Structure 1
Amino acid sequence: MPVPALPDLPAQHRRLTDLGLTLPALPEDLDGDLLVVHPRLVSTARLVPLLALGDRRGFVVEDLTDLDEFGAAPGVQVPEADLYAVDTPDRGDEHADRSPDEVDPRIRAAGRDLMTVAEGVCWALQSPEVIERNHCFMTTGSRRPKASGLDARVPALWISNGTGRDGRDRKDAPKLGWCWAGNRHTWLGIASVGGRS
């Protein structure tokens, strides 16, 4: 299913405030396709429960308790503003069954940048349909630093099957989990953005 077009930025700002977020005023000169709340203002972990597919609320998997330690990946330049915009978010369906290690350099070589987990969650808040069964996505623009480099995990958004630790009551709920940067998944694309402002 094609991803629906996003509403304009003022409508997106209203949507976020309607969800209960306290946000600064939308800058008049802000231009772009998707409004993003900087994780410094509202943590991504706090945004995830606002996600919904039907009557199912979003959740973070139990073994991603350090989600808020995932910052911008090396080379990803996120504006310092509390609110910023990204251009042309893309789910990266064509990258399904390829690993982030394989695809990230190709995305950058094509003149795009890696989507952060905060950007992915904000996108799904505005267009829940972007999380579609068998067409979900990794957000490789967010990585957790370690003393010896980067944590090998990459945050990803997909739909729970209600198995294992998720629990049956979470079947069909939007789920923020993680994948290994070297692994391939047939149902996960690798998301990107055209730019940030």
Structure 2
Amino acid sequence: MPETASATPVLPSSLSASLPALSAQAERLVELGVHEIAGLSAEELRTFASAEAAKAPAGGEGALLAVHPDRAPASALAPLLRRSGKPGFVVVDMPDVDLFAPLDTVALPDAPLYLLTGLDRGDRMANWSPDEALPALTAEARTPLLLTEGIHWVLQQPDILERNHCFMTIGSRLRKANGALDTRTPAVWISNGTGRDGRERRDAPKIGWCWAGNRHTWLGFASATGRRGQGS
């Protein structure tokens, strides 16, 4: 890992405490039509959020409501992102974005809806590579976010995505036919409107990728303390 980075675990970013209440998050997803993408009713979303808020400490404050990626893939969620009035998009050289699946070490609740707790944007790991960050997160008993979870976070808390403080979602990886992991690792950042993005997309939320062995000073590694589904 980089010599300038500390391996000492730190508390999740206080930004996670600024998430809307679970009921408001459910309404936001309904407003965006995510329930329809997922094949759920608006009432199912609202009921889940209400039940989880009722049984969680402090009403589930700081928890993120997420839809299982099998129900709402990244390609369907990305255009719902907004920044500077511009919709989010997936880079053109990532047509297989929905084939990026959870790592074997990432356990998802067997339910269409679930919560993530203890979110952290991972700023302290800026200038680490994904290959360096993953074992460090594992050692701290933290779980890396999936790409769809990262999108959900930005949908609910747009200011989590800042220039020079964007994040990778290395819980999602593409596995090749031979079983090896593709070396691309997904991330959520802000377009500069250069190259194939097009000038019209400058400042738009961008779903892209970086090589697993490369470091970027402006990308942290989003993670959580855990996930829980209905009844867990």
TM over 0.5: yes
| Structure 1 gap ranges (5+) | none
Aligned to 1:20: 33
Q: Structure 2: which amino acid aligns with 1:154?
A: T
Q: Which of 5, 15, 19 matches 1:3?
A: 15
Would the aligned equivalents of 1:3 and 1:129 in 2 still touch at CA under 8 Å? no
Q: Which of 195, 211, 231 matches 1:180?
A: 211
C-alpha deviation, 1:98, in angstroms: 0.5
Q: Structure 2: which amino acid aligns with 1:42?
A: A
Q: Structure 1: which amino acid aligns with 2:20?
A: P
Q: d(CA) in 2 for partners of 1:94 and 1:117?
A: 20
Would the aligned equivalents of 1:70 and 1:144 in 2 still touch at CA under 8 Å? yes
Q: d(CA) in 1 for partners of 2:15 and 2:207?
A: 19
C-alpha deviation, 1:29, in angstroms: 3.7
Runs of 4+ in 1 over 6 A off after TM superposition: none
Q: Quote the sequence identity (%).
A: 52
Q: Structure 1: which amino acid aligns with 2:192?
A: N
Indicate the SS of the match to 2:34.
Answer: coil
Larger gyration radius, structure 1 or structure 2 = 2
Aligned to 1:168: 199
C-alpha deviation, 1:54, in angstroms: 2.2
Q: Structure 2: which amino acid aligns with 1:167?
A: G
- Between 1 and 2, higher relative CO (CA 8 Å, sep ≥ 6) is seen in 1
After superposition, give the CA deviation of every residue in 1:24-56 in whole Å (9 maximum; x if it has no partner): 413254355000011111211100000001211
Map of 1:66-105 to 2, 5 A cutoff? 66-105=96-135
CA RMSD of aligned residues (A): 1.5
Q: Structure 2: which amino acid aligns with 1:10?
A: S
Indicate the SS of the match to 2:132.
Answer: helix
Q: Which of 117, 128, 151 matches 2:158?
A: 128
Structure with more of its chain in strand, by fraction: 1
Q: d(CA) in 1 for partners of 2:202 and 2:155?
A: 19
Would the aligned equivalents of 1:160 and 1:175 in 2 still touch at CA under 8 Å? yes
Q: Structure 1: which amino acid aligns with 2:15?
A: V
Q: Give the alignment's TM-score, normalised by structure 1.
A: 0.95
Q: Give the alignment's TM-score, normalised by structure 2.
A: 0.81
Q: How many residues align?
A: 197
Q: d(CA) in 2 for partners of 1:95 and 1:138?
A: 10
